[in-house]
Structure 1
Amino acid sequence: MIELLSTIYPYVKAIHVMAVLSWMAGLFYLPRLFVHHAERGMDNGEPGRSFAIMEDKLLRVIMRPAMIVVWISGLCLVFTPGIVDWSLAWPWVKAGCVLAMTWFHGWCAGQRRSLLRGNSLGGRRYRIMNEVPTLLMILIVLSVIVKY
């Protein structure tokens, strides 16, 4: 198994990067949809129904599969010998940020359900929460590239 992970490492890394891009795109866009949904689509008519469809498709068709691939490929990378030195800070920072990103994904899914029930945090709060994945991405990229 260890030899297989070493052999396929570049492919797993490429898949991981592609899945991260897809997941992050969704995490950046979904809270923006929430802003518009909260400010213009809280009734059961249009555009509320359109926002609900876009949010559902983004979560179910793009974000959830991408997150699963990120986790599977990321764990494969972690278990590849010689890739992660757990005595350094960077893998711990990255792991914490990925857990936070996963929590944020779950929070977004919960907010989508709240919006469907007619409950909204308001456009301003969704705008603020839209910055969370950006901050986490900055920490992840710095930790992985700089490897402090």
Structure 2
Amino acid sequence: MLVSLYPWLKAFHIMAVIAWMAGLFYLPRLFVHHAERAAPGSEMAETFVMMEQKLLRLIMNPSMIASWVLGVLLILSLGLGTVMSEGWFHVKLTAVIAMTVFHMWCARHRRLFAEGGATLSGRRYRIMNEVPTLLMIVIVIMVVVKPF
């Protein structure tokens, strides 16, 4: 049954991943501007808090969940044993777990900003903004090139 749905599962999985990645690229960039340009409690800070919350709750969380659910369905459609025997898949899965941990780090920092307790500098958030790019590179190479 799932095998016949594979192209659809893959298409929706790719769309969900694109939406998730867009949020993972944008939220830390919002943190940079929030940390550098908005005094705690200011109107600008409240605007950033609202933008960060909506991005996380309306785009990032649903797309992360969809990415995971559709990814698991893709694995099941191919056969768990088949996929789990591939070395590239283990690297990809580790990178996706790391991406999920980064998502949770972003959620924590969004909450810290909302509570007025964020202490990282704009520079630190700029550095953290590179994490999803590095993970994306690993994931795409593993899926497309399958080096091992």
TM-score by length of 2: 0.94
Looking at structure 2, the residues matched to 75 and 97 of structure 1 have their Cα atoms a distance apart, in angstroms, of: 15
Partner of 2:127: 128
SS at match of 1:144: helix
SS at match of 1:34: helix
Partner of 1:22: 19
Partner of 1:31: 28
Deviation at 1:147, TM superposition (A): 1.0
Count of equivalent residues: 145
Superposed counterparts of 1:40-55, under 5 Å: 40-55=37-52
Looking at structure 2, the residues matched to 81 and 31 of structure 1 have their Cα atoms a distance apart, in angstroms, of: 35
1:111 maps to 2:109 = yes
Gaps of 5+ in 2: none
Higher helix share: 2
Match of 1:96 among 91, 94, 111: 94
Structure 1 stretch displaced more, 98-107 or 83-92: 83-92
Deviating beyond 3 angstroms after TM superposition, the runs of 4 or more aligned structure 1 residues are 82-85
SS at match of 1:28: helix
Are the equivalent residues in 2 in contact too, given 1:42–1:115 (CA < 8 A)?
A: no
Superposed counterparts of 1:69-88, under 5 Å: 69-81=66-78, 84-88=82-86
Amino acid at match of 1:33: L
Amino acid at match of 1:132: V
Are the equivalent residues in 1 in contact too, given 2:75–2:83 (CA < 8 A)?
A: no
Report the RMSD for the aligned CA atoms in angstroms: 1.2
Name the % identity.
Answer: 57
Deviation at 1:42, TM superposition (A): 3.2
SS at match of 1:21: helix
Looking at structure 2, the residues matched to 82 and 72 of structure 1 have their Cα atoms a distance apart, in angstroms, of: 15
TM-score by length of 1: 0.94
Amino acid at match of 1:145: V
Gaps of 5+ in 1: none
Partner of 2:2: 5
